Amino acid sequence: MAHLLVVGAKSDLGRELARLFAAEGYSLYLAARNSGELAEECEHLRIRYGVQAVARELDILEYGAHAGFYESLEPKPDGVICAAGYLGDNVKAMEDFREAKRIMDTNYTGPVSILNICAADFRKRASGFIIGISSVAGERGKQSNNIYGSAKAGFSAYLSGLRNSLCKSGVRVITVKPGYMDTRMTRGMKFPPILTAQPEDAARDIVRAWKKGRDVVYTKWIWKFIMVVIIHIPEKIFKKINF
Amino acid sequence: MDTVPVTRTRPTQGGLKKLANWGNYPVIEALEESFASATELKGMLAGAHGTTRVIARGNGRCYGDSSLAGMVVSTLRHGRFLSFTESSGELACQSGVMLKEILDTFVPRGWFLSVTPGTKFITVGGAIASDVHGKNHHADGSFSRYVASMQLMLASGEVVLCSRETNCELFEATCGGMGLTGVILSATIRLRRIATAFIRQETAKARNLAEIMELFEKSATWSYSVAWIDCLSQSGQGGRSILFRGEHASPHEAGGASPLRIPPRHTINLPFFLPAAMLNGFTVRAFNAAYYACATKGAATAIVDYDAFFYPLDGILHWNRIYGRNGFVQYQFVLPKASAAKGLAEILRKISSGGQGSFLAVLKLLGKGENLISFPMEGYTMALDFPVTKKLFPLLEELDKMVIEYGGRLYLAKDSRMGAATFNAGYPNAPEFRRLRGRLDPAGIFGSLQSARLGI
Domain residue extents for chain A: 3-238
Which residue in chain B has the smallest CA separation from A23?
Answer: B105
ipTM value > 0.90 = no
Cα of A49 to nearest chain B Cα, Å? 7
The mean pLDDT of chain A is 96
Confidence (pLDDT) at B235: 64
Residue B10 has pLDDT above 60, yes or no: no
Query: How far apart, in whole angstroms, are the C-alpha atoms of residue B194 and residue B192?
Result: 6
Residues of B in contact with A48 (CB under 8 A): 81, 101, 105
A48 contacts chain B (CB < 8 A)? yes
Across the interface, of B10, B83, B105, the residue whose CB is closest to A43 is: B83
Q: Which has more pLDDT, B239 or B25?
A: B25
Residue B2 confidence (pLDDT): 46
Interchain CB contacts (distance < 8 Å): A and B:
26
Residue A222 pLDDT exceeds 80: yes
Q: Which segments within B75-212 are labelled E, that is strand?
A: 81-85, 90-94, 111-113, 147-153, 159-162, 183-193, 198-206
- Taking 50 as the threshold, does the pLDDT of residue B12 lie above it? no
Interchain pair A208, B1: CB under 8 A = yes
The strand ranges marked E within B318-434 are: 328-336, 362-366, 379-387, 409-410
Which residue type does B311 have?
Y
Inspect the interface and report whether the beta carbons of A48 and B11 lie closer than 8 Å: no
What would the mean pLDDT of B429-452 be, rounded to a whole number? 97
| Best to test chain B binding among A44, A212, A219 (most B CBs inside 10 Å) | A44
- Residue B3 pairs in a beta bridge with none
DSSP code for B98: B
Considering only CB atoms, which chain B residues are within 8 Å of A44? 80-82
Reported as type and span, the H/E element at residue B294 is helix B281-294
- B39 sits in the region (left: phi over 0; alpha: psi -120 to 50; else beta) called alpha
* Residue A135 pLDDT level (bands cut at 50, 70, 90): very high
User: pLDDT at position B362, please?
Assistant: 93
Q: Which residues from B are below 8 Å from A40, CB to CB? A: 80, 82
pLDDT tens digits, B131-167: 999 999 999 999 999 999 999 999 999 999 999 999 9
Answer whether A208 sits within 8 Å of B101, measured CB to CB. Answer: no
- Judging by beta carbons within 10 Å of its beta carbon (0-12, 13-18, 19+), is residue A84 exposed, middle or buried? buried
Mutate to test the interface with B, among A48, A184, A205, A210 (most CBs of B within 10 A): A48
Shortest Cα distance, chain A CAs vs residue B9, angstroms: 10
CB A38, CB A55: distance < 8 Å: yes
The answer to whether A207 contacts chain B (CB < 8 Å) is: yes
What b/e sequence results for B302-338 when a residue is b if at least 16 CB atoms lie within 10 Å of its CB, and e otherwise? ebbbbbbbbbeebeebebbbbbbeebbbbbbbbbbee
What are the contacts of A203-210 at 24+ separation with CB within 8 A?
A203/A13, A203/A16, A203/A17, A203/A19, A203/A20, A204/A20, A204/B1, A206/A17, A206/A131, A206/A174, A206/A176, A207/A17, A207/A20, A207/A21, A207/A24, A207/B1, A208/B1, A209/A174, A209/A176, A210/A129, A210/A131, A210/A174
Pairwise CA distance, residues B227 & A242, whole Å: 62
Q: Whose CA is closest to B81, among A22, A208, A25?
A: A22
Chain A nearest CA to B142, separation (Å):
25
Crossing angle of helices B209-218 and B337-354, rounded to 10°: 140
Residue pair B179/B55 in contact (Cβ under 8 Å)? The answer is yes
The sign of the dihedral angle between the CA atoms of B196, B59, B26, B8 is: negative
Q: Which residues contact B219 (CB under 8 A, 6 or more apart)?
A: B225, B243, B245
Quick check: B81 and A48 CB within 8 A? Answer: yes
Hey, is the C-beta of B83 within 8 angstroms of any chain A C-beta?
A: yes
pLDDT at B234 over 70: no
Strand residues in B143-297 grouped as ranges (E): 147-153, 159-162, 183-193, 198-206, 224-229, 241-248, 268-269
Catalytic residue among A26, A148, A158, A180: A148
Q: Note the pLDDT tens digit of each residue in B64-91.
A: 999 999 999 999 999 999 999 999 999 9
Name chain A contacts of B6, Cβ cutoff 8 Å: 200
Crossing angle (nearest 10°) for helices B337-354 and B392-405: 160
Which residue in chain A has the smallest CA separation from B10? Answer: A193
Residue A41, chain B, CB below 8 Å: the answer is yes
| Architecture per CATH, A3-238 | 3-Layer(aba) Sandwich (3.40)
Condensed to tens digits (0 to 9), the pLDDT of residues B274-308 reads 877 777 777 777 777 777 877 766 668 999 999 99
Q: Does B287 touch chain A (CB under 8 A)?
A: no
Average pLDDT, chain B: 91
B81–A193: do the CB atoms touch at under 8 Å?
no
- Residues with Cβ within 8 Å of B2's Cβ and at least 6 positions away in sequence, in order, are B104, B264
Burial letters for B56-79: b for 16+ Cβ neighbours within 10 Å, e otherwise?
A: bbbbbbbbbbbbbbbbbbbbbbbb
Q: Is A63 a catalytic residue?
A: no
Q: CA angle, A102 as apex, A101 and A104 as ends, to 5°? A: 60
Which of A44, A193, A207 is closest, CB to CB, to B80?
A44
Question: Residue B337: its pLDDT value, please?
Answer: 96
pLDDT digits (tens, 9 = 90+) for B337-366: 999 999 999 998 888 887 676 666 899 999
Q: What percent of chain B has pLDDT over 90?
A: 75
Q: Average pLDDT for residues B39-48, to the nearest whole number?
A: 93
Quick check: B389 contacting A, CB < 8 Å? no
- pLDDT reading at B182 higher than 90: yes
Asked if A139 is an interface residue toward chain B (Cβ–Cβ < 8 A), one would say no
Per-residue pLDDT band at A205 (split at 50, 70, 90): very high
pLDDT at residue B107, rounded to an integer: 97
Q: How many CB atoms are closer than 10 A to CB B122?
A: 24
**Using CA of residue B428, residue B429, residue B432, residue B434, what is the dihedral sign?**
negative
- pLDDT on residue B7: 55
Residue B8 confidence (pLDDT) above 60 = no
Residue ranges and CATH numbers for the domains of chain B are 198-419 (3.30.70.2520)
Q: Report yes or no: B153 and B183 within 8 Å, Cβ to Cβ.
A: yes
Helical (H) or strand (E) element with A176: strand A172-178
Measured between CA atoms, the residue of chain A closest to residue B105 is: A48
Distance from CA of B81 to the nearest CA of A (A): 5
Q: How many CB atoms lie within 10 A of CB A221?
A: 12
Tell me which of B1 and B135 has the higher pLDDT: B135
Mean pLDDT of A63-79: 98
Angle at B368 between CA B365 and CA B374, to 5 degrees: 95
Q: What per-residue confidence (pLDDT) applies to B88?
A: 96
Q: Nearest CB to B81: which of A44, A200, A204?
A: A44
> How many angstroms separate the CA atoms of B351 and A140, rounded?
64
Q: Helix, strand, or coil here: A71?
A: helix
* CB-CB under 8 Å, A40 with B80: yes
Instruction: Please report the sign of the dihedral spanned by the C-alpha atoms of residue B370, residue B373, residue B376, residue B377.
Output: positive
Of B10, B11, B105, the CB nearest to A48: B105
pLDDT at position B394, please? 93
A56 DSSP β-pair partners:
A31
Judging contacts by C-beta atoms under 8 Å, the chain A residues touching residue B105 are 47-49
Identity of the amino acid at A64: G
